[in-house]
Amino acid sequence: MTDLSSSVALFPALQFDLVTIVASAGGIKALAELLPLLPADFAAALIIVMHLDPNTASLLPQILDRMTALAVKDAEAGEAIKAQTIYTAPPDYHLLVKSDRTLHLTQTKKVNFTRPSADCTLTSVAECFGNRAIAVVLTGYGHDGALGIRAIKQHGGRVIAQDPATAAVASMPQTAIDTGAVDWILPIDQIPLTLVKLVQQNGE
């Protein structure tokens, strides 16, 4: 595994370049509590991966857009990651980050019975962003994200899990916690302030 502990900064003024939030069942409600508490000047980029119906057009960007002052869009293949932008994984595609810090969409086989898979996204983020990545695991069924956060941690990034007691479905955050790779276990309303402190106050 490549050691990216000295990853080149995408946004040099920040401690962390990218926050990846993963969720499944109950995720919209959790995001409705989290995103409005992020300030309009939150300077890092964000990726949101949710388990979506592959047979239905996603309204996730439009739904999230009503919750935040940040720009929200479905990820497009080949686009460069920009600050103050939330990228959502489209239905039936794994969303990956390439070494040149651009986004990539693939329909390779399902992982953890789902596509998009949190593990796929988080592993690619870990390999690209190293110690400049933050992962956040919210409510959901199953164990998707557990392998991905191990990769984030192994590459020097930070991991936050929603307190399972505050999650609509505890499986995903609890499985994340059980890996031993989680740095903070927080109720949903404390996650935004922690992200702001990490990203915009140099991780202090």
Q: 87-126: per-residue pLDDT in tens?
A: 999 999 999 999 999 999 998 888 888 889 999 999 999 9
Spot the catalytic one: 24, 94, 119, 155.
24
Spot the catalytic one: 7, 17, 94, 144.
144
Tokens of 155: 């590459």
Helical packing angle, 118-129 and 146-154, nearest 10°: 10
- Whether residue 2 is predicted with pLDDT greater than 70 in this model: the reply is no
- 178 included as an active-site residue: no
- Cβ atoms within 10 Å, residue 8: 11
Domains present along the chain, CATH in parentheses = 18-200 (3.40.50.180)
- The residue among 202 and 34 whose pLDDT is bigger is 34
Confidence class for position 57, pLDDT limits 50, 70, 90? low
Tokens of 122: 């988080």
Spot the catalytic one: 7, 17, 51, 124.
51
- Segment 192-204 mean pLDDT: 81
Average pLDDT, the chain: 91
* pTM of the shown model: 0.92
Confidence class for position 203, pLDDT limits 50, 70, 90? very low
- 24 included as an active-site residue: yes
Task: Report percent pLDDT > 90 for the chain.
Answer: 81
What pLDDT does 181 receive? 97
- 144 included as an active-site residue: yes
